[in-house]
Chains A and B, each alone.
Chain A
């Protein structure tokens, strides 16, 4: 112990011989001290008798305390830094001791009475970078959010759940980028070459799902409860939107369409997890129309409802009343929208605009770049496979938002023709990457956010080209387009007329009107 005390004194800036003399004077008293605090008090008293200035230096040195991440206040300890460096970065102890010593010097220079655990980490990280330990820094760094950002989330969050989700999502996204993805893929995402969807859930769960209730419900209440059970399961399994199909086939046999529609909409409205509900009149037109009626009356709905337009005139009228009144309504061709049972494990969107820009009008070069991006997406899928357990065939989505922007850069005059060739190549790439256990598909569903990001990054946005979208949609699993209207309040009849034209003159699989 005497040696350790002398060493502490010297570290604090006390002259060696003064320290030795102080320890000598204390003699056996040191051994009788019950705690480090008692030792320090005694040493301080001994130093006061010898050299007042040295004693003051010693006191200041030991007055630095740490506010720990466990919400406790403890005395500063270099050894704790060394231990955490060795445990978290696996660096040799000697190197860790050196880094910790330098960090401590830096902290002591600040002459602070209290330092926080995050501040210590920041200083240690700076030292790691100064010594060229970049990887160690990535492992040692702290994840979280600036105080200002947390304040904003608190201000904007509409519920406690939303605040928790936003803050947890932020930490998990950073974790995925720092610790799960290799540097190359993380960089490709951050630079915007690709967009890896739902990064916060990358190591946790699948991207988006689809499912349907089995059998037939006996009463509306029982049926809706069963649907809610399905939704609760989906919340655990999927990070993004969950698509419920076969709702009408399940609830229509209850025979009380009005009650079933009301209960369904009311209960789904209470779910926070984003949902899409597929409504097919072929499975129960009375119920489908009743659901549309409830939505038209409500005027708002937090989820999306996809109405198939294969129904009677009366059904179409009510559906368009809902489309005119409620922003959550989507319209679709055919009986069903989502044809990937179980959903998609992961989706990666490709920045086709950048590829087009870099290709400088050369179609071959564009295809080569698209292939490179596709390979990056494939690497992401491999990683996801290692992280998330999945039973059955694994489906992966390659998002292709901004196809119009890319074509407008590459060949504005013959965009639809070129788009067809590009889609052919992309489909070929999907087939090559698919196997018996794994399927890679193109998608436009749920990639709107990535599209916005790419458009903003590339500074390009072109008007909706229905002709080109008609080329792209048939190649995709899950494709939807937004048709912007210039009217403030379009009438249901007028929307119905427009939908008729969309069905007759285009190949859009699904769409919604914006105004």
Chain B
């Protein structure tokens, strides 16, 4: 089930967690730098009680749902990273209470450039859908905004945060990177 894993002490504050990389990505983002591969750890449950699922859009990976169920079965807290491109699987996951925190990765301003910069025309539409799903589920969210100056700058990032909050998403933190 687990392809690559490592221990992260930064993903969930105060709680060392197992990182699981279920890579699946529909995008060809201009800002993308493939997440550095975590060093594998065999049976990290001895040291951790939480897990973080990485992989750009892990919800598109067929192994994701079974993995989330297995982790929940082990009694672990779960954080899910998503690009917002898979609203339907996200809804299923949130309805099943399979994750505790969602981290949404936003890689372009929320306008017509979103499709161009991610390489998917329907990317923005799907991100908005995911936003509504998150808002209605009430699951805490963390926003990871990948700036790409001059195409995507801090001012536009603040607009992203505002859009999520306006939609009713419980934004508990924002991180920005280039």
Contacts and interface: CB of A to CB of B under 8 A. Distances in A.
Contact of A465 (B8, B42, B48): B42
A498 B48 CA distance: 8
A485 B8 contact: yes
Q: Looking at chain A, what size class is its interface with the partner chain?
A: 20 to 34
A180 interface: no
B39 A486 contact: yes
A498 B39 contact: no
B169 to A, nearest CB: 25
A495 B14 CA distance: 9
Interface of A: 404, 462-468, 470, 483-491, 493-495, 497-498, 501-502, 505-506, 514
Interface in B19-51: 19, 36, 38-44, 46-48
| Most B Cβ at <10 Å: residue of A465, A466, A467, A486 | A486
Closest 4 CB pairs of A and B: A484-B39, A494-B9, A463-B40, A486-B6
28 contacts: A404-B42, A462-B40, A463-B40, A464-B42, A466-B42, A466-B43, A466-B46, A483-B7, A483-B41, A483-B47, A484-B6, A484-B7, A484-B39, A484-B40, A485-B39, A486-B7, A486-B8, A486-B19, A486-B36, A489-B10, A490-B9, A493-B14, A497-B15, A498-B7, A498-B9, A501-B16, A501-B47, A514-B39
A404 B11 CA distance: 28
B131 interface: no
Interface in B47-69: 47-48
A514 B36 CA distance: 14
Nearest to B52: A486
A27 B15 CA distance: 103
A485 B38 CA distance: 7
A422 to B, nearest CB: 18
| Most B Cβ at <10 Å: residue of A466, A467, A514 | A466
Contact of A462 (B6, B10, B42): B42
Contacts of B41: 463-464, 466, 483-484
B5 interface: yes
B13 to A, nearest CB: 8
A467 B6 contact: no
Contacts of B10: 487, 489-491, 494
Given A466-B41, A485-B7, 13 more contacts: A463-B39, A466-B44, A466-B46, A483-B7, A487-B10, A487-B11, A491-B9, A491-B10, A494-B16, A497-B15, A498-B47, A501-B48, A506-B47
Contacts of A463: 5, 39-42
B43 A498 contact: no
Contacts of A495: 9
